[in-house]
Amino acid sequence: MATTGNLLKTQMNKTFAAFGQILEKKEYPLEIRETGTVTYVGKGIARVNGLWNVKSEEMVLLSGSLPGLVFNLDHGEAGIILLDEDDDIKAGSEVQRTGKVIDVPVGKMLLGRVVDAVGRPLDNYGPVRTTHRQVIEREAPAIVDRSPVNIPLQTGIKVIDALIPIGRGQRELILGDRQTGKTTIALDTIINQKDKGVICVYCAIGQRSSSVAKLIADLRENDALDNTIIVVAAGESTPGMKYIAPYAATAMAEYFMYKGEDVLIVYDDLTNHARAYRELSLLLRRPPGREAFPGDIFYIHSRLLERSTHLKKELGGGSLTSLPIIETEAQNISAYIPTNLISITDGQIYLSPELAQKGIMPAVNVGRSVSRVGGKAQFPSYRMVASDLRLSYAQFEELERFARFSTRLDESTRKIIERGKRVREILKQPQFQPVPVSVQIVVLMAVVEGLLDKSPIELISAAESAISKEVTEKLPDVCQKIEKGEQLIDEDRYKIVSLARNVIAEKEEGI
């Protein structure tokens, strides 16, 4: 025992001697550290004096470790957005400059994870181990660095892919009143990307934690979480976290875009983002403008959405497609925030509460929805069936509204209404059931050719299922051509129509 004790003592002496030598050689250079003092704190903001050289959007540390973002630079004081709860911050607390802007972890290790707006994990799967970080604010790609939008982003939703198509690199707004299915459309689109090679980022801004938990469970159940990053700034988060959340999510998505990947990002929703920005602005005494929103609300959203684009091949050819969501009140799409975002984006998908109340889901109002870019990226086979479908369907919706006031209709009007009812029935779609491109083309072709004009409405769903099954089994070559984006010839069209006609006839005979 004595020998072991002496050996241990010798080793300890050598260790401490080595530490002593290192400490003697260590140089401690002087460094300037600028600190200030909190003069006011409350409601997610703080006012600080003493930081004379601090810069806008610089990150500061309050009370030693709590992060904050410089928002206002006023005479004699700085306005700070707090990114954590302010329980430990009081008037007189020390504030320290960092000389850095806020950045977040980026990389493949984030896929399948749930994080907050500064990249901290929320899913109990341990720390996020990434080797790269990226600032949340950066300039959008220059015009000369962009390529035209020419590749479709398939949502798996018939009414959107056929009538309001979205291209990779596009910004398509989803808007509508509460409980009209806005998040459902975004969720179905994410699920449809699981085997398409598209990475997805879902940014929840001001949503209930229970709603986000359900969405995560739905993604996991449909095997779509492995290629998705969830960024959460829940309703109970500070206004500062809600404000930076979409920028942080975009930085995570941009990492993959600049690696040549195709990325889809969903902002759910920017109405809550605008409200958080208004709250911060009013607390820090920025003058309110229209509807109490500061005038630069347009700028904060435009600089966010302009980062979505399709890069040219020299820069990797990656794309970032954004689906911002906003909520309207009483179908008022001419309100301040909706008009701002409609003017920023490349089109909008408007969801009607009237259609939702009737059980017509997805409740897309085709007449008010538009895609200004995606049509150029749409598969050629869609143009065979969808070129006149949008106009005729919008015409049907108008005629149906006026037909309520008249019991007598001429034959042509009656035919338009009857076919329109069948088109609407075909465009109905349950949640979590994305439809492949080939099946969409075939069922739409059946209704456009008038094959379902005499079929009872209640038979449409069964006929659609039977047509989908038959075409997949009996016309695999035609389905393959459609999936590859090749143009269908007249012979292909004849095969599809003949098969659909036979299936519908069998169904009607079985009634």
Which residue has tokens 């008022």? 332
Question: Is 303 one of the annotated active-site residues of the chain?
Answer: no
Distance CA 387, CA 377 (A): 14
Contact 261, 243 (CB under 8 A): no
Contact 244, 203 (CB under 8 A): no
Distance CA 20, CA 43 (A): 49
The two three-digit tokens of residue 250, written as one number: 């975009």
What DSSP line would sit under 197-218, residue for residue? TEEEEEEEES--HHHHHHHHHH
Distance CA 398, CA 393 (A): 9
Distance CA 340, CA 506 (A): 52
Sign of CA dihedral 481, 483, 486, 492: positive
3-state secondary structure of 503: helix
Distance CA 187, CA 266 (A): 9
Contacts of 45 by beta carbon, 8 Å cutoff, 6+ apart = 71, 79, 80, 81, 82, 239, 240, 280, 283, 284
Distance CA 411, CA 413 (A): 6
Identify the active-site residue in 303, 372, 493, 501.
372
Distance CA 488, CA 103 (A): 49
Alpha carbon of 98 to those of 342, 372, 438, 483: distances in Å?
38, 44, 55, 52
Give Cα 73 distance to the centre of its chain: 32
3-state secondary structure of 387: coil
Closest to 495 in 3D by CA, of 503, 505, 507: 503
Closest to 440 in 3D by CA, of 393, 472, 415: 472
Which residues are catalytically annotated? 372
